[in-house]
Amino acid sequence: MIRIVDIHRTYTEAGNEIRVLQGINLEVNAGEILAIAGTSGAGKSTLLHLIGGLDRPTSGAVFFGNQDIFGFEDRELDHFRNQEIGFVFQFHHLLAEFSARENVALGAMISGTHSMDQSLQQADELLAYVGLEDRLDHYPTQLSGGERQRVAIARALINQPRVILADEPTGNLDRKTSGGVLDLLWDLNDRFSQSLVLITHDHTLAQRADRRVHLVDGKISEAKQIAE
C-alpha cells in the first residue's frame, strides 16, 4: 500500500550537512504491523514524518497506492493526512484546552464532512472503545499518561485511516501501562485491519510486529519479515 523509493533527507545546520536518511526503500503492506527499530538519531521519526507527508524528502518518493504523495498539491496532501493517516506521538500531543472527546473529534471537524455533534458522537464511541467512556469531558491534565495515549490513539482513528503511524507510543509510559496501550494497538489492527507503522527502540516490542526493519545511521541495515 505504501512504497518508499530511494528516500534521502538531508538537513543543513550551521553550514553542515546532516544526512538523516540515505536511500531508504521500503514497503508497507495493507493491514500489516511494521516495526521500525533503531537507536536514537537513526532517522526513525524522520522516516515516519515523510511517510505521513509532514516533511518533504531531499530526494526520492513515497507512493500511496500508485500516487506519489509529494506530487500532491498542499491541499491534497492535507486531505491525505486527514483521511488516510493517523498519527500517534510519543508525548501524546493532546491539545490542553480541549477535553478528551474534543481532542478526538478534531480530526473529523477538520475534514468538514461532519457536523460538530456528529464528530463528538463519533469521538464518544471511539473513546468508549478504548475504555475511556467515563473520561469524555476530562482535560489532558486530568488524565493519566496511559489514558492520554489512549485518547491520542482514538484521535488517530477518527477518520478511519488506512495507516496508523505511531512514533514510540509507549516511550513515555511505564511497563504496565505500555502493555495496555500496545494491546490496544494490536487489537485495533485486528479489528479494523489498518496498517500500523510502529517506531520503537525496544527490540522486544519490534519482535511482536508482523515485520521489522532496523534503521542504522539513516540506512536499513536488515529487513526481516516474520512469518505470519
Footprint (CB under 8 A) of other proteins, residues 151-170: 155, 159
Report the first-to-last Cα separation within the chain, whole angstroms.
18
Q: Taking CB under 8 A as the rule, does residue 5 contact other proteins?
A: no
Q: In this complex, which beta carbon is closest to other proteins, that of residue 27 or of residue 55? A: 55
Amino acid identity of residue 212, one-letter, is R
Footprint (CB under 8 A) of other proteins, residues 174-203: none
CA-CA distance, 159 to 150, in Å (whole number)? 16
Q: Which of 137, 183, 187, 222 binds other proteins (CB under 8 A)?
A: 137
| CA-closest candidate to residue 52, choices 65, 33, 73, 69 | 69
Q: Taking CB under 8 A as the rule, does residue 64 contact other proteins?
A: no
Q: In this complex, which beta carbon is closest to other proteins, that of residue 128 or of residue 226? A: 128
Amino acid identity of residue 135, one-letter, is R
Q: Taking CB under 8 A as the rule, does residue 19 contact other proteins?
A: no
| Residues in Cβ contact with 1 at an 8 Å cutoff, skipping those fewer than 6 apart | 28, 29, 30, 64, 65, 162, 163, 195
Q: Taking CB under 8 A as the rule, does residue 107 contact other proteins?
A: yes
Q: Which three cell numbers stand for residue 112?
A: 468538514
Which residues form the interface with other proteins (CB under 8 A)?
A: 49, 52, 54-55, 74-75, 78-83, 85, 87, 89, 93, 95-98, 102, 106-107, 109-112, 116, 134-135, 137-138, 141-142, 155, 159
